[in-house]
Every structure is written in C-alpha cells, then in structure tokens.
A and B are shown apart, each in its own frame.
Chain A
Amino acid sequence: MVKKTDIIELEDVVVKFVGDSGDGMQLTGTIFSELAAFSGNDLATFPDFPAEIRAPHNTIAGVSGFQMHMGRRPIYTPGDMCDVLVAMNPASLRANIKWVKTGATIVVDENTFDEKAISKAGYQTNPLENGDLTDYNVIKAPISELTKKSLKDLNIDKKLAMRAKNMFVLGIILYLFERDLKRVLKLIEMRFAKLPEVVKVNKTALESGYRYAETIEGVKSRYRVNPAPMERGKYRNITGNVAAAWGLLAASEKSGRPLFLGSYPITPATEILMELAKHKSLGAKVFQAEDEIAGICSAIGASFAGSLAATTTSGPGFSLKSEAIGLAVITELPLVIVNVQRAGPSTGMPTKSEQSDLMQALYGRNGECPVIVMVASSPANCFHYVYMASKLAMEHMVPVVLLTDGYIGFGSELFKIPEVDQLPQINPPLAKPNEPGYKPYKRDEKTLARKWAIAGTEGLRHRVGGLEKTNIEGSVSTDPLNHQLMVKLREEKVNKVVDFIPEQTLVGEKSGDLLVIGWGGTEGALKSTVKRMQEENYKISLAQFNYIKPLPKNTRSILANFKKIIVCELNMGQFVNYLKINFQEFHYHQYNKVQGLPFHVNELTEVFKNLLEE
C-alpha cells in the first residue's frame, strides 16, 4: 500500500551522509550527487574523512562523511548546515549534530544504537530515546536488520550483506528526494560492471530501502528540488584535483610540449599524481619520485629537456621544495608547482583545509626569488587556473606557484566541458635549431623572458645552473653590478606578467559601503554571503583574487572605491599583510578563521553586518 505524502519544494538542500570509515558513505554520497547532476540541479560536494584509513570502529575519530549541496539556483559551496543528515552509527550522529539545522530530517540506523556503541560515541544515554532529538524529524530505521533480511534469499555471507547497508539507506534518501530509481540501478551496474554479485546485492538492498521508505509512517513528506537554470552545454561532475590534472594535460596538448610530472604522494594533493598516472595514452610522463625534492628537481630537469614540467604537493612538501624553486628561478626555466594547501604548521591536520601557504609561496626562499603566484577558487576552475599557470610559466620562462586547497581539491562541482580548440593559445619562446646569435640569457623586450633552448637541439648547446650568470651571455659571474641587474630583471619579468593577466572583477557594484576581499578557495562562501546581502540591499561587493603576484592592474582603484574593506582568510592574515605592503594607504579590517574548516555563510553575514553597523 502506497501512503500519501506531501511534496515540499526546496530552492536548495544540504544532505550529509555520515558513518564509520568503512560504511561506504563516500560511495553513497558520490552516487547521490551524480544523480542530482543528472536531474539538472547545480551542486557542490565535499568529502570529510579522517586521516586514518580505518580508525577504531564506532569512535568519533573514525567518522567519515560526505556532504552535498544541490539546488535550483547557483550553488557555490557544499553548504553550511544540513537539511538532511544520514547517520549510520551513534558516533557519526554525535560528531555531526552541531551541523544540522533545527527541524531537519535525520535518518539513523537504530540497530547500531546499542549500549556499547552509544558509550563509545561518548553519550551517557541513548540519544534516540533521551529527548536530545526532539527538535528534528528523526526517521529511526532498522537499517542493519532490514538489509540483512532483504538479502536473505541471495545466500551471501553476513559481512558482504552488512556492506550493503549504505545502499539501503541510499534507497530511503532516493525516495525522500523523488529520484529515479532506474537511473541509480544503471549507475550501480556501470560502476560494478565486473562484479555481478555486488551489483545484485546492491540493487536488492537499494530497492528494499526505497520500498521501506515508501511504506513507513515516519516519512511524512518528500522533497523536490527543481532543475537549475544552467547555461546550455555539456557537463560533468569534477573534483579540484582531477580538474588540476586535466588542466596540465590540456596545456601540454595546446603548447605541444610533452607533460612531465615529478611528484611524491602527500595528502591532499596525491589525487593529481594518481590521475595523471592513468593518462599515458596522452603521453604524460609521470615520475613518482623518492621524495619531494626529487619530485621538483626531476621536473626542473625535464623542463630543461623541453617538457611542460610540473610538481604537485602540499604545505610540508612545498617547504622541502623551496631550494629547488630558487634553482628554477635562477635558471629561468618554466615550471608549475601546484600546492594543495592543508592545515599546518608541520604535519598539522593533513585532511583539513587552510589557506596556509601564501607567505611561503611569495617569500619562502633564500635570496630575492620572485615567482608568479596564482590561486584557484573552486573545484572546476582548478582546470582553468592550472592551464593558465602552465601558459604563463612557459611563455614567461618562470616558475609559477599555483595554490589550491584540500577543500576545493577534494570537493566537486559541475564542470562545463570546454573544447581544447577554444582554450587560449600557448606559445612558448622556443629557440630554433642553429638559431644565429643565440645567447642563453638574451631576453624578449616585452616579457623579458629568455628563450627556451631545449637540450638535444642542434646548435644551441649551453649551460645553466644555480650560480649567478651574466645577463645575455650566461657565464658564471660574481660581478656586483651584474648581480643587481639580474635580481632586478628577474623581479621585473614577473611584474611584467601583469600585462598578460585579466583585470580583477567584482561581484557587485564598483563602489559601496563594504568591499569584501578573499582569495582562492573561500570564493564559494564569500560569494554566497555577499549575494545574499546584496539581495537585502546592502551596498557590499566582493573581490575574490586568483592572481596574487603580480596583482591585477586595477587592484588599487578597486580598493579606493569603498568605505570599508574587510579581508577574509582561513589563516592569521597572510593576504591582508601582502595588501598592506602593496597598498599602504588603505585601512583594512580582517576576519580570520584557522580551524581546518571553511567559512560558513551565517558567520560571514554576521561579521559583515556588524562591521557595517560600527
């Protein structure tokens, strides 16, 4: 018997799946997101998992989660507070309840709430019975038991049956959101094509969960999120790390320079290395080095031999690469260094995000050692900014540090698939074989870039290295005036890049009461907040920076047109200090958060409103 339910239409909704590390929450979340994308919603996702592969069972430390935000309007972040929480055990409920909106729906597996698990999670009494959850719509489902029951006829072992719990709960959620069951079954078939038994188990559990939700009284209403008005085109879902990897491949193809990646595994950047390792068919040469230093040094060697060379890392690895970045600066070779930032110092919190390394990217080397510094600001635009970093590195013969962070690296969103044909041209200044009058440090007038004379080319034999060289000729030199000239030239070369990057854009009017400034991965939260306040008629605008060194040409004129300026960062104020150095005439307010967590729209709104009232 099918019961009658209400349909509630929502503008946007945040759903979070949480459970023990082995409960399969990442898979459940990924499938649900793909479905939302197919259904035409805009979306953003974020996986939230512990550093340990399998932390102790049923503990807070072992909680793994996947959050997704979908809507019929543009979605910029994976969301702050959940409208729906799926909690597979007491520990995951306890760890996440503070991120759940009052009145939200909570689905729990009541079978896991036994005395032992409850106390392991740190509860004194059972939260399902002690009144803790009266403010929420709780669906207490015997998920473990029903999953087992539904699979009884398949005669499979208990362990495999229990692994299908996540599919049972996905079935419940699919019902709640009116999702097409057939489409999911197809997705599961595709994903486990080589494992027919797993397909059968998962399908059975999924259908049982769906039917269960259909019949029980606990589900009083269903939710509808209508398709978002999106620009026409072909889309896919993509994480920042995969987008970064693909951006390198695209830049390689476009420039005609083969791709070389020299990297060492490090959270949260490893996915770029793993992704590129798959693509040998595109000629990508991926070298998993013995350490971070060998990663960058091999890339510098490959650059000397004519590759688009890159190294990918995170904070601690970036520190280890410092000396070698200096080598790339003085040899004036193109190099892309991607730093997927994480919470520091030292090992810090590897799986947690932070805008930790801006100062290190700008200044963390011996000597006067300028590089281009850029930052991606969303999962999908990691593709664009890695592409642009590669273009600038090659065309200007200089290392580029591209910062991303764990939040956008692991996070995903919809990506409008570009055509390689339509991407900007990349024209590296290659020296021709036997080029008359070739000199290693002869420079282009506009860019000051020297020519890229690739090892192995006839008639261009020359030597480069870490010792200071004379300009033009490139001989080893300790001449005082030559050194000063070279220091200036290297700095000027980077500064001249300003003529080749776009002007800074604003979200909102060119003048007003408050200019919000951010950089990189905080874009989603800052944009959501500023747009919401603009709807409430606040005179507020956002400048979210992607080009840090050099800063866009119009930066000063933007800053001059607002009554107040606030710089928001997930660190103690690295960008605001950089702005203070460059534009000393302005007064800057700042808002800093260093918790390994992203900004939330509500907290930002409060900060901005308070500042406007001061």
Chain B
Amino acid sequence: MSEKKTEKSQNKLTKKDFISDQMVKWCPGCGSHAILASVHKVFSDIGFKKEDFCFVSGIGCSSRFPYYVNTYGFHGIHGRAAAIASGIKIANPNLSVWVATGDGDSMAIGGNHFIHLIRRNMDINVLLFNNQVYGLTKGQFSPTTPRGGITKTSPHGTIEHPFITAGLVMGAQGNFFARCLDNDVKMMTDIMYQSAKHNGTAITEILQNCVIYSDKAFANVAAKEIKDEAQLRLEHGKPMIFGKYRDKGIVLSGNKLRVVNIGKNGVKKEDILVHDQYKKDPGIHRMLGRMHFPKYPIALGVIRSAPFNTYDQLMEEQIENEKKSSAIKCVDDLLNSGDTWEI
C-alpha cells in the first residue's frame, strides 16, 4: 500500500484550527454534534496541512456539516456530494476529501453517484449519517427505514425493503466499510483516522439517533442493558468475541457465520474467527456487514479496509505516462498534427 500523498503539516494544529465561525444549528441531543467534535479532533491530530482538507456535502441535516468545519467546504445539492467530491479529488489528488451525507442523500436521490464513487475507488472519505429517516424535511421514511416503520409518509407502515448499507457498499465493490454508533466517540475517531489513511473510497456508516423523528432507532443494539450481547466490536487481528462475559464468538461454519458459546460443545477460544480487515477477498466482510440482532450481534468497527489502486492515482499515472510518450507536448503540436497543408 503506497503512502498518502497529502503533505504533512509543519505546525502542530489544534481543534480550534478547524472550528468555523458559523453557529451550529442542529437539534440539542442530535448525534451530529459528536460527529463534528470527532472530526475536529481527527483533523487536528492527523498531521495534514489545514488547507489540504475539503469537506463536501449534499442536502439534509448532515449536509450542513461543511459550514461547521473550518476547511475548504462545498455544500452541494441533494444527492450530488459524491460527484462534486470526485471532481475535486481528480482535480487535486493532494486534498484529503471528506463527504458528509445521510441515508436519503446517499442512497435515495444520490444512490447512483454513491455506488459509482465506490466502484471507482476514488480516494474519498464518506461519513454516512444513517438515522433511518428524512430529518430536514421533517420525518419521511428513507431507504434504510425498517419495513413497517411508521413515518409521515408511511402512516400505515412502510411497505419497502430497506437497504443494508454494508451490503450495498460491498455489492458496489467497496474496499473500506466501517460502522459505529454516534455516541461512541472513541470508536468513531479511531475509524476516522483509519479512513483518512486508507487509499480509496472509505465509507463509515454512523448509526445516528434523530431525537425528533427516529429517537431510539438503534436502541435495540445501543441500549446499555443489551449492548454487550448485541454488539461485536471488531479489531484487526483479534478474535471475534463478544458478550457480557466475553463468552460468545463467531465461527465460520461451512460458508456461513455462526454464533457459538465458548466452552460449550467443545468450542475453544482458538476456534473463533480472527478479524482480518485487510483481506482482499470480501466474503467474510460481506457476511459481517449483514449480521443483525438478535440472530447475530451487529458488527461495529472497521469491517473492511482492503488496499486497491484508486481512480485518482491511476489517472495521474496515465497522464504522466502519456506526457512522457506522446509526441504532442502542447496545443500547437496538436493543431499541427495529422493532415495539414499550406496555402
């Protein structure tokens, strides 16, 4: 894996360097506040120059994000952040480009750009705030609202099958997928560091509570009394063990993942799958991404971060090669190439 091109900052930066002068206008208690704080921290610690960050968004609550981070920022139009960010990254591959988006922005109106961004493996970091609802337009169902969900546009319950973000991302040949809860700042910042350093499209799904329209949407996995049984917190190189007494684990049985009790039926700790987030083959990552409670714990952390060539690197390489090999070095050469004649 090649090193990031983004240059190192000479000066030590602090969170203050990234706090903008705009008033933050999210609801009190919204998970976005924690995400913003994490971004301020990661940007100041990671060592890039402050002018080399660029934050891009579409429309929605999450998409106000660029106004609250003192970097180059572009607040785009609904669904199009991925396309705008692609242009920025191609034009200047040296930038560390970040997209803030929501479940509706990225997977409904912007679904096309989202999957193609991932397929191309553009070196862009996407923070996907999934609160399973349209917040800014005041409470309509989204592509991730669970079937049957009652919202303002589904008063009798949705009759749609929701996207599983991980399934969509890896189906689009995604090479980096991480998931965390909005109240787990430690895991969130850790994922953001990894995202920033990963070459390629990095999707981080943040399961977010909308206090107004989808309050407690993730309570079934996030609530204190249940979280140990409902969450599998992945760490690279560590066995996939969970449970209040760390007595449960994931094994590969045939071509399926299975939950086992360590110590029962002859299952030993050594039988438990060890997480390899860098594995190129996405098979296990896909299964981990699709696990859901109560049959399985939900997988959190970096599920996949496999190294592959990025679009922006490959384009730079092609340009460099052509510059070396082509006889056409300037526009005058081009204008005078091929069949021409003097009169």
Q: Give me the interface of A with B, judged by CB distance under 8 Å.
A: 34, 37-38, 40, 187, 230-237, 246, 249-250, 253, 258, 260, 262, 279-283, 285, 287, 289-291, 293-294, 297-307, 309, 323-324, 326-327, 331, 417-421, 455-467, 475-476
Contacts and interface: CB of A to CB of B under 8 A. Distances in A.
A299 B76 CA distance: 12
Chain B CB within 10 A, most for which of A231, A298, A464: A298
Contact of B76 (A297, A455, A457): A297
Interface stretch (B89-97, B128-136, B181-189, B249-257): B89-97
A298 B315 CA distance: 15
A309 B90 CA distance: 12
A236 B338 contact: yes
Given A249-B331, A297-B113, A305-B87, 16 more contacts: A187-B339, A235-B342, A246-B331, A250-B335, A253-B331, A287-B86, A293-B113, A294-B82, A297-B80, A301-B56, A302-B87, A307-B87, A420-B335, A465-B66, A465-B74, A476-B22
B323 interface: yes
Interface residues of B, number: 59
B103 to A, nearest CB: 20
Interface in B316-338: 318-319, 321-323, 325-326, 328-332, 334-336, 338
Contacts of A289: 83, 86, 116
B47 interface: no
Contact of B336 (A234, A250, A467): A234
A465 B69 CA distance: 14
Nearest to A284: B319
Given A287-B90, A294-B113, A324 B80 contact: yes
A20 B136 CA distance: 57
A250 B342 contact: no
16 contacts: A232-B342, A233-B343, A237-B339, A260-B87, A279-B334, A289-B86, A297-B113, A301-B56, A301-B83, A305-B91, A327-B77, A456-B72, A457-B51, A460-B51, A462-B72, A463-B75
Given A297-B76, A298-B83, A456-B95, A235 B323 contact: no
Contacts of B51: 456-461
Given A301-B83, A456-B95, A465-B73, A279 B328 contact: yes
B75 A465 contact: yes
B339 A298 contact: no
Given A38-B341, A465-B74, A281 B112 contact: no
Nearest to B70: A461
B46 interface: no
Contacts of A294: 80, 82-83, 86, 112-113, 116
Contacts of B52: 456
Nearest to A40: B343
B85 interface: yes
Nearest to A454: B92
Contacts, number: 201
Contacts of A421: 332
Interface in B9-33: 20, 22
A239 to B, nearest CB: 13
Contacts of B50: 461
Nearest to B80: A297
B88 interface: yes
Given A324-B77, A458-B51, A461-B70, A299 B343 contact: no
Q: Name which of B54, B67, B86, B328 has the most chain A CB atoms within 10 A of its CB.
A: B86
A258 B328 CA distance: 16
Q: Which 7 A-B pairs have the closest CB atoms?
A: A465-B75, A301-B87, A281-B326, A298-B87, A463-B73, A297-B83, A305-B91
